[in-house]
Amino acid sequence: MSYLITDNHSLAQYCQNAAGQSALAVDSEFIRQSTLYPKLGLIQLFDGKQLALVDPLTITDWQPLAQLFADETIVKTLHSCTEDLEALATIGINHIQPLFDTQLAAELLGLGSSIGYARLVEQATGELLDKSESRTDWLARPLAEKQLEYAANDVTYLLPLYQYLLTQFKDPALLPLLLAEGQQLQQRRANPLPPRLKYLEIKNGTLLRSRDLAVLRELVAWRLEYAASRDLALGLVIKDFQMLELAKRKPGSVESLLNIPGMTGRDLRRHAKTIIELIEHAKQLPQDACPQPFYYVEHFPGEKAVLAELGSTIKEVAANTGIPAAFISVRRQLHEYFNWCWRVTEQERALLPVPEYLSGWRQQLLLPHLPAPAQVQNLIKNLM
């Protein structure tokens, strides 16, 4: 039986009842079309006995749910939970322990990489899920019965899926690894890059020269601040490829901004003055205040060579341990380590979060095999 929770008392009562169970299935529905932060529209919970659909538009006290999520005796089961974690963070829920992600579990077990929920449910239970309501406006009220049923299905089959995957963990070392990764996902959210170093995440930034990077750094930091203050998606302020073009061309007038692809009249009216000022500021910086494409180049064989070596290291460790390479490392983690080693100064490195290659379960697995340039070897020793 499922029911819609729309008040604080009912939510507290549900959480109290669920506290006696061993596992809790969790999902969320949200809208994120034009905003920087997801707009939470529904939270689905299933403790094996009762299924609840929680309306976040009417709840004001989230403490009971936060306590339930932090209860270490109850396994919280989610599927591909990265965006769910972001959505739940908007209501102050930042600690979920322990967390069992069924997509990551399937990946770790060799059942497929980034496998979708419906496909995994079908593979594990034979059930075919209806995904026709996936484009629902979850902020609209009232929600139709079909929409509520669709949302309920996302947790109805999550506990059976969890139980099925649990039986597949024949190696006793793998389950702790999965739960540790659940905590790593949350740790990642708690340690974002400082705004002044967010330019490191822009694809193809390494192709720019030093002065170009100074422009890019200013634009990326400004965009994040502007988007956060107005809760706008980053791409609606200015797109990555436009910032790269601005960094290379460095237009000095509003008129010359028209030569940047995609700069519309509205963009020019809204941001032109600020963009020109940021570019001019970056152009006036002393050379030693501009970021370099790479540092310590005398010991640097080149970006392609280093990334290839890192990729080969991951594959070798995967082959030796039986842990899928896709579970050990994703592209973001590889570039995080690369940037930490070669793309920042010693002072900037102190401001960065420790690369995931060098923390948690990955440290023990990867550290003996990772290429570690001289400039970071002492730091790595201190982390051990």
Q: Is residue 150 annotated as part of the catalytic site, yes or no?
A: yes
Q: Is residue 83 annotated as part of the catalytic site, yes or no?
A: no
Q: Are 121 and 129 in contact (CB under 8 A)?
A: yes
What DSSP line would sit under 143-188, residue for residue? PPHHHHHHHHHHHHTHHHHHHHHHHH--STTHHHHHHHHHHHHHHH
The structure tokens listed for 294 are 């790479």
Q: Is residue 348 annotated as part of the catalytic site, yes or no?
A: no
Q: Are 175 and 70 in contact (CB under 8 A)?
A: no
Q: Is residue 71 annotated as part of the catalytic site, yes or no?
A: no
Among candidate residues 29, 107, 218, 356, the one labeled active-site is 29
Helix H or strand E segment including 377: helix 374-383
Helix H or strand E segment including 99: strand 99-101
Among candidate residues 55, 154, 212, 267, the one labeled active-site is 154
Rounded CA-CA distance 152/21 in Å is 19
Rounded CA-CA distance 207/381 in Å is 31
Q: Is residue 27 annotated as part of the catalytic site, yes or no?
A: yes
Among candidate residues 14, 101, 107, 150, the one labeled active-site is 150
- The single-letter DSSP state of residue 133 is T
Residues 6+ apart with CB under 8 A from 132: 150
Q: What are phi and psi of 172, to 5 degrees?
A: -65, -15
Which residues, in sequence order, are bridge partners of residue 5?
Answer: 54
Among candidate residues 14, 27, 71, 337, the one labeled active-site is 27
CA gyration radius, the chain:
24
Among candidate residues 55, 84, 107, 218, the one labeled active-site is 84
Rounded CA-CA distance 313/366 in Å is 8
**Nearest by Cα to 349 from 378, 329, 319, 306:** 378
> What's the number of CA atoms in the CB half-sphere (13 Å) around residue 39?
13
Catalytically active residues are 27, 29, 84, 150, 154
